Amino acid sequence: MLVLPMAVVGAERDARLTYTAADEGCRDQLGPAAGRGPEERRRSFLCLARGTTFAADAMFPENLADQRILAYGGQLCALPGDRERQALYERAGGTADVIELVAALDYLCPGIVARQTADARRRQAEHDRQEAAWKAEANARCADPWPGARARRQGTAAYLLFEGGGYAVFDDRDDGVGGPGGVDGESADIFAAIEDGFIDAAGSSAAIVTDEENAAMCLTVKAFGSAPPLRLAGWDQVVEVGIASRSGRLVVPTYPEGGDSGAAGPLPDLAVAGPGHYRLRVHARTRPWDENDPDAPLEEHLLVVYPGRSTAKVVHRSPG
């Protein structure tokens, strides 16, 4: 139960309670809170408080007197953050969202919007700092597994896997039939890749299954101008498929652009020869657990891409 200060309750008992009628026209006359006197700011606050929200509900219940709404407004201004302010507001029967409420309160306590904006910027900056630190730490645990082969474009990054695992390589500018990566109605299907046990490729996309999920793996990509030597030693699986690019791009999504998964660092466009057909050679292996670094990724993939017209799937190495 909300307990109002005794001074406010006493003042309400002694004063004649007023109930300002909602007047949508008063909103047209509202200006910035800065430079307004206390009484004008209170009237402006009541104009919004008696009006309707974006959801067409009253900002405050109609049976609350003006004095009670103003008392709630004073208490809301004194609270430190959105969570506490929203909890009190809901107990008062209010239905506006945080943005609407703060916009109204800015007339009672000028500067609250500026403080909210500054707080939001600080929170976002701290979030960005923590995410950058996580990405740097995750990327530092991954290294190029084929450093002797210098490709025209290459990169290594930690790749955050979501529930179920798996990732894709696709033409992110191809919006043909079948959606992104679709060519002539075809696009890769992660469920077909699961049924295959490793990979599915169709149109300008490929879906690859991973052993890990809800964790990071290490991913290296290398794009060559022609077929590089076949590298099998040390890999559990090596499978090659055909993939097309109509726009001249083949990419792996970057976190968080890929939703809840993606590479923790930028990886290059793999279509080095522009629009056309390519071969995609996918290497996968499980790395031994390191007791000195228990958070190190346990799975590692290497993607090799080069121009080639064949669409045939070739299994160079399979588990077991």
pLDDT of res. 176? 56
Q: What is the mean pLDDT of residues 277-294?
A: 92
Quick check: helix, strand or coil at residue 126?
A: helix
pLDDT of res. 186? 66
**Any idea which of 85-99, 102-116, 261-275 has the lowest mean pLDDT?**
102-116
For residues 219 and 156, give the distance between their C-alpha atoms in angstroms, rounded to a whole number: 6
Sign of CA dihedral 251, 306, 206, 183: positive
Sign of CA dihedral 268, 273, 278, 279: negative
Q: Which of 73, 82, 79, 74 is nearest to 50 (CA)?
A: 73
Burial status of residue 70 (CB atoms within 10 A of its CB: 0-12, 13-18, 19 or more): middle
Distance (Å) of CA 302 to CA 67, 208, 211, 222: 68, 12, 14, 8
For residues 36 and 107, give the distance between their C-alpha atoms in angstroms, rounded to a whole number: 9
Q: Who's near 237: CB < 8 A, 6+ residues apart?
A: 198, 282, 283, 284, 285, 317, 318, 319
Sign of CA dihedral 31, 32, 33, 34: negative
- The whole-angstrom distance between residue 180's C-alpha and the CA centroid of its chain comes to 19
pLDDT of res. 192? 92
For residues 258 and 246, give the distance between their C-alpha atoms in angstroms, rounded to a whole number: 21
Checking DSSP bridges between strand 299-307 and strand 216-223, what pairing results, if any? Answer: parallel
Quick check: helix, strand or coil at residue 44?
A: helix
pLDDT of res. 6? 37
Tokens describing residue 202? 């169709």
Checking DSSP bridges between strand 276-286 and strand 237-245, what pairing results, if any? Answer: antiparallel
Mean pLDDT in the chain?
86
Q: Who's near 16: CB < 8 A, 6+ residues apart?
A: none
Whether omega before 294 lies within 30 degrees of 0, making that bond cis, reads: no
DSSP assignment string, 185-229: TB---HHHHHHHTSEEEETTEEEE--S--SSEEEEEEEE-SSPPP
Per-residue pLDDT of 40-91, as tens digits, reads: 999 999 999 888 877 767 889 889 999 999 999 999 988 888 888 889 999 9
For residues 303 and 283, give the distance between their C-alpha atoms in angstroms, rounded to a whole number: 6
Per-residue pLDDT of 141-158, as tens digits, reads: 999 999 999 999 999 999
pLDDT of res. 259? 61
Query: How many CA atoms lie less than 13 Å away from 221 in the CB half-sphere?
Result: 25
Whether omega before 297 lies within 30 degrees of 0, making that bond cis, reads: no
Q: Flag whether pLDDT at 15 surpasses 90.
A: no
Q: Flag whether pLDDT at 8 surpasses 50.
A: no
For residues 159 and 266, give the distance between their C-alpha atoms in angstroms, rounded to a whole number: 11
Top-confidence residue, 260 or 265: 265
Q: Who's near 120: CB < 8 A, 6+ residues apart?
A: none
CB 61 within 8 A of CB 49: no
For residues 247 and 250, give the distance between their C-alpha atoms in angstroms, rounded to a whole number: 9
Q: Which of 217, 316, 313 is nearest to 263 (CA)?
A: 217
Q: Would the pTM of this model clear 0.95, i.e. be above it?
A: no
pLDDT of res. 5? 43
